[in-house]
Chain A
């Protein structure tokens, strides 16, 4: 599979602060990216996606930024809440079929 990695394996933030989770990808041909949230013992949950023809997309309390020049993806969570504590993965796709996941970042929200 492709190499998709994260800069920080763990991240701790105070409740109410903003969180930024980063991801680097290696395949410049990737044209679709997704952020997933995974709670312990559960399958991944879709958070937000972005196509390569965009550089920013916003959802509810989340924003994804894509920098194709340096092959970098980030997830911003506004006003982080305890329920946001989980492992976050980025995934890239380029064939319209398979997806490859990054290493993951464990986010801990401190009350």
Chain B
């Protein structure tokens, strides 16, 4: 149980275009989903926390207009990288918490590798 999927697993896009990444909890309802980014050989950096039906809370330094997060249902959150640039190339990982459980228990997706050319 507690499986989180991401789609796509890998995407290449041209500079200036927008890319949408999906995060789904397959067998549980996720009250809260988290989005992280990870550069090569670096740690995961929390970008934003998303609660179903409400606006996401962004970490300091993360541009909310550039990284649009939508959490419209208890099983789906999306991250849209708008007007992507090469410096946005990274590994984007989502995680989800069970509905009714402590938010400490996070289940991670496999990640999406974004390459902007």
Q: Residues of A with Cβ closer than 8 Å to B? A: 1, 32, 34, 36, 41-46, 49, 89, 93, 96-104
Contact = CB atoms under 8 A, between A and B. Distances in A.
Interface string B19-39: 000000000000010101000
B46 A1 contact: yes
Contact of A99 (B60, B106, B109): B106
A1 B59 CA distance: 8
Interface string B42-73: 11111001000000000110000000000000
B44 A44 contact: yes
Interface of B: 4, 6, 32, 34, 36, 42-46, 49, 59-60, 93, 95, 102-104, 106-111, 113
Contact of B45 (A46, A49, A101): A101
Nearest to A102: B43
A40 to B, nearest CB: 10
Contact of B44 (A32, A45, A46, A89): A89
B80 to A, nearest CB: 20
A103 to B, nearest CB: 5
27 contacts: A1-B46, A1-B59, A34-B104, A36-B108, A41-B111, A42-B111, A43-B4, A43-B6, A43-B93, A43-B108, A43-B110, A43-B111, A44-B44, A49-B104, A89-B44, A97-B32, A97-B103, A98-B34, A98-B49, A99-B34, A99-B104, A99-B106, A101-B36, A101-B44, A101-B45, A101-B46, A102-B43
